[in-house]
Structure 1
Amino acid sequence: MKKLYFLPFLFLVIAGFAQKQIVVQNGTAQSFSDLNAAIAAANAGDTIYIPGGGFSASPNIDKTLHWRGVGHYPDSTAATGFTNITTGLNFSGNCDNSTFEGIYFSGSLVFGSTDNEATGIVMKHCRVVGNLSMRNNSGTTNGFPDLDFKLSESVVQNIYANYGTNIRVEKNLIFGSLIYFYQCYFNHNDFCANTSYLLNGCNNCQFINNVFAYSQGQTNSGNCNFQNNVFQGGMFYDPVTSTHTGSGNIHSVGWQNVFTTISGSIYTFSYDNNYQLKTGTTGTAEDGTSGVSIFGTATDGTNAGIYGTSLPYKEGAVPYAPHIRSVNIDNEVVSGNLGVQIIVAAQER
């Protein structure tokens, strides 16, 4: 059953035509024109609905909140503009179990405190332009903490786990490096990093059904398993000499042949690009067989990359909370009435 977001959302719609309003909900709804005021007024566990537009916030957040924007893809935010938080943010260890959806973050995000990890974070349908640090501590202090971090259907750059473990990264477009991951899981992602080392200090990780579409170097990484991935060039491991293992991978595809349409650089994200696998593309299987199709090669029988699985990446990355797709307002009043048509959409769960 869908959760009903309509009370705070409709309040947001009505108020939003006068000025951008941020709604805080916990049973009742309050509206604010300033994001800092909304954060300060919210109790731990509250939901903050942020409309389209640019918003700044004080950098340090110290409570569990559920952040909901209207999305960041142009085709789904034409009426409202995308939700853009323009400042970098630090989420302390008191932010356990916070969730984020449908927000464009212009700056970097850092989770956790030096002596208090932020755990249970869920982020989906977001874009992060700066670095995403899932753990504040860059050393191995306190061993390899269980972060229970889930990142899905988002567009991100460099991701720092900083020796954190139990991180699930699924159906994301990733344009940077993976740094210091330990016993983490990567499934159905597209990696398009313009870097010498896509994997930097990644150990004991599982890579399944991903597309390695551009740079794929590695350093200080070992004991990872690669299954049914598509590699534009050679694979990450030598079956004889490497500590990495794997099976079912297809390599030597050529970066020009991976995606359907790339309007500029493959390692620069663009909303104009089509990241579906390119029809007719083939590569080489691990046994040396050439001319092997890259379609239908994932472990679940779908395609590798973000458009695989029975629930592929949603083009537009529309958040679950209802959002405005279009607004039509008549130019004049007829018989004392002004015609207003607002078309609202929400993603199916």
Structure 2
Amino acid sequence: MNYFKKTGLCLLIIALSVSLLAGCGSDKKENSATDNGLYTKEELVKYNDYVKLSNAMNYDFINARTNYLKSYSDENSDFKIPSNNDFLTPIRNPAGTANAIIAMKDSVSKAPSLPMDKNFEKLSSEITNEIHILNDLQTYFTSKSYLDDNYAKAATLHKELTNSIQNSNKEIQSFNEAMQKLNTAQQDFAAKEMEKSGSLTCLALNNFISASENLVAELRNQQINASNLTELDIAAYEKQYTNLTKTYEAFIKASTDEAQLEKEKLTSNDLVFLVKKVTSTKAEATLILDRAKKKQAIPEDELKNPIFIETIEGTPEKLIKEYNSLISDYNGSLSFHKKYPRRINSVGIFFIY
């Protein structure tokens, strides 16, 4: 059985690998772009609030929800009583997403307006409802209440969750499409600004990040994950992988160019962790290709633990984990995020249940 492809509620995520601009814009009037197409300062502040929500929702929340459903759903998406009461899969609490929604509520009504504003209330309502259900399930299992009612409440909460998912998936997809549409043009403008200003090291890093996004998108388009890695269309994957290796080599070269680093007021110490994360991301991309060529399938027993899958080398899940770690370090780097575009992370699970 393909462990990630359940029937019923399984919906392929599209347009999740988006990027965003988070540097300081000019002080021109609100609700307009600067002459070079970049957001104004006011627009960036609000856009960045949406970015925090997107990062949390597309990783923290989606993973929590998907991991629960993989452990407690049968193939018809109905509640499945765990076979081993002594070792129940922990249910995650997506507190990061709940906090991001609360923070966004203070920003959404403020000017300037962005396309995501019109659907935020419905999106936040759906997601908040599901977070409450997951929290109730977590409390229920932690308190061992299933021993009191033989899983009756769990079955009820499970049904509420699966009913809600059918609506929330549409809202999530709509939100991500709006974010992607805004971002695409912004990243093009940002790259031109980096090149124009001579920020070639940052440009090389962002080129690698974009190449990584495209590689992940190829895996997503092929619906490839740890359970069906041997089915990878190698030729299509290699097209994106070739570009990834080129951008990797360019960034590594840039990271050791002392003259250029001095021009950008950077040092090797500013890049040490980023170089490490870039290298780890590239390595996972290489291992995926190697596994696919050698037809090395992941053992079925290893696929049963959703958290463990992220630790298995040469899987899309591990690639996503390394990529998001890179994004976290990049966004947290004072040398970059004050002047140049931040990036948004990618969803950890390729399918929404």
TM-score w.r.t. structure 2 length? 0.23
Instruction: Give the structure, 1 or 2, with the largest relative contact order (CA under 8 Å, sep 6 or more).
Output: 2
Relative to total residues, which structure has the larger helix share, 1 or 2? 2
